[in-house]
Chain A
Amino acid sequence: MLKVENIDVYYGAIHALKGVSLEVKEGEIVTLIGANGAGKSTSLQTISGLIRQKRGKIMFSGRDISFSPAQEIVRMGISQVPEGRRIFANLSVRENLEMGAYLQKGKEGLKKTLEKVYEKFPRLRERLNQRAGTLSGGEQQMLAMGRALMAQPKLLLLDEPSMGLAPILVKEIFSIIKEINEAGTTILLVEQNAKMALSIANRAYVLETGRIVTSGPAQELAESEQIKKAYLGG
């Protein structure tokens, strides 16, 4: 479904991604793990078209999207929940969700999608007219996820959804990610919380200073001594 082929990304002189390749197949949960600064967010931003690679290409559903504008990439079915949630704090919860459906046409469809999102995140329904900036961290994460789902994506990119959340909320978020996947959405999950990520993923890639150093079935990686030492705290 998604094929990232050998991409190099620079920030000025900083070489952030060095020949990164990865693949996500339809229906999978794939996780991209790595330490802070490894290039995980850069990878997602490049897929979403916010940053351009200098070399290499990105294919989605058989189409080269390497140089497609960001809105075209959303239209084709890739949505992202960015790191730090990036909700529109000055808009109401409802308006945030509507922004998620920006490219969707028709009021009926919008209503149906809204209903689905409320079902998944009942707490959002209670706070519809509240300004999004007044939500708690966990609620903001749910809003960010709900907002991305409003676009009815085929592929959902999640950038550190567990960041800054209490353990109980982390559990809830991960079980929702699994549900979203079971309902038919393919997922590329970026995490520093490798343990949780590996526990729900089918396959995993490990990124180290801009390079993929290991990849394989998530379970295998979770059991590898090397990964345990580096990312799972021994």
Chain B
Amino acid sequence: METLIAQLLNGLSLGSIYALIALGYTMVYGIIQLINFAHGEILMIGAYAGFFAITKLELGFFPALIVAMVVSVVLGIIVERVAYKPLRNSTRLSALITAIGVSLFLQNGGLQVFGTDYVTFPRAVDKVTYKFLGGNATITSHQILILIITVIMMFILQYIVHKTKTGKAMRAVSYDKDAALLMGVNVDSVITVTFAIGSAFAAVAGVLLGMYYQTIHPLMGSMPGLKAFIAAVLGGIGIIPGAMAGGFLLGIIETLVSGYLSSAYRDVVVFGLLIVILVVKPTGLLGKDTHEKV
């Protein structure tokens, strides 16, 4: 029982990080039907920005988080403007190949600039272990922090998407770009805002991953990026609640498989799951066969 609770809490915190990453994939997909393969690298840059903000600028955890978000947002906007916008009217395949190119460029650029070694991510927040259920189960301050930050980010996102004018425009653009143009919406700026939000989420996920694994590396974004992409597909790509659910689910499945079977099977199960979904329900768990996105 104790291990189950421990595994679930662990899965929940890993899953919430996946959910944060998956949200970026799904929002961008919802608005321009592009799988932004560079998303994991935007996360990685965010993690390094957070790292330098803590070690070099000696900032606390939350100010460092803000720095990381700003850096990733700027990078995300640059990537969108330079690499994707010129391809807006070309085939989806060329955009996809470009995204993979941007991803490789940032990975290798990262290896050049940051080196190939793992770097220890500083403990900007004390790790305290709390016992509960009469001492039978434990939770760490890091797990609590990850969960709280994720929940706050999700509330902010729900607010933006459902209660603001920009959010309304995002939903409109994702449904019908031409109709949105006829309303006077500047579709290009809405797309930019979407990338900015997704990148900010990636930065938060990057810093939280640094805290979770206690190390960072220029290639750190690639595996969680892939997992989060699977989470987004699992929940139904383009659907925000789907990305959240998919992320949590994937994190929990992963830790349960590692805990009860063997961590060797972890990725096998996750990728096997992707194949099963693609065969059984290609639109994902929350996906309908309608046109609805974002």
Contact = CB atoms under 8 A, between A and B. Distances in A.
Interface band, chain B:
20 to 34
B133 interface: no
B181 interface: yes
A220 B171 CA distance: 46
A158 to B, nearest CB: 12
Contacts of A48: 181-182
12 contacts: A70-B181, A75-B184, A80-B182, A86-B179, A88-B171, A88-B179, A89-B175, A90-B291, A90-B294, A91-B171, A91-B172, A95-B168
B220 to A, nearest CB: 35
Interface of A: 48-50, 69-71, 74-75, 79-80, 82, 86-91, 95, 98-100, 102-103, 133, 147-148, 151
For the complex of A and B, the 10 pairs showing the least CB-CB separation, nearest first, are A74-B184, A86-B179, A103-B184, A70-B181, A71-B184, A90-B292, A102-B183, A99-B183, A88-B172, A102-B184
A70 B165 CA distance: 19
A75 B184 CA distance: 7
B178 A82 contact: yes
B155 to A, nearest CB: 20
B186 interface: yes
Given A82-B182, A86-B182, 18 more contacts: A49-B181, A50-B181, A74-B182, A74-B184, A79-B182, A86-B178, A88-B176, A89-B175, A89-B290, A89-B291, A91-B175, A98-B165, A98-B168, A99-B168, A102-B183, A102-B185, A133-B290, A151-B183
Contacts of B182: 48, 50, 70, 74, 79-80, 82, 86, 148
B193 to A, nearest CB: 14
Nearest to A49: B181
Interface string B229-243: 000000000000000
B175 A71 contact: no
A75 B178 CA distance: 16
A50 B178 CA distance: 7
A102 B169 contact: yes
B39 interface: no
Nearest to B168: A95
B159 to A, nearest CB: 15
B293 interface: yes
Interface of B: 165, 168-169, 171-172, 174-176, 178-186, 290-294
Contacts of B292: 89-90
A79 B183 CA distance: 8
Contacts of B174: 90
Contacts of A99: 168-169, 172, 180, 183, 185
Given A90-B292, A91-B172, A82 B179 contact: yes
Contacts of B185: 71, 99, 102
A88 B175 contact: yes
A128 B294 CA distance: 21
Nearest to A100: B183
A90 B183 contact: no
Nearest to A44: B182
Contacts of A100: 183
A71 B186 contact: yes
Contacts of A103: 183-184
A134 B159 CA distance: 24
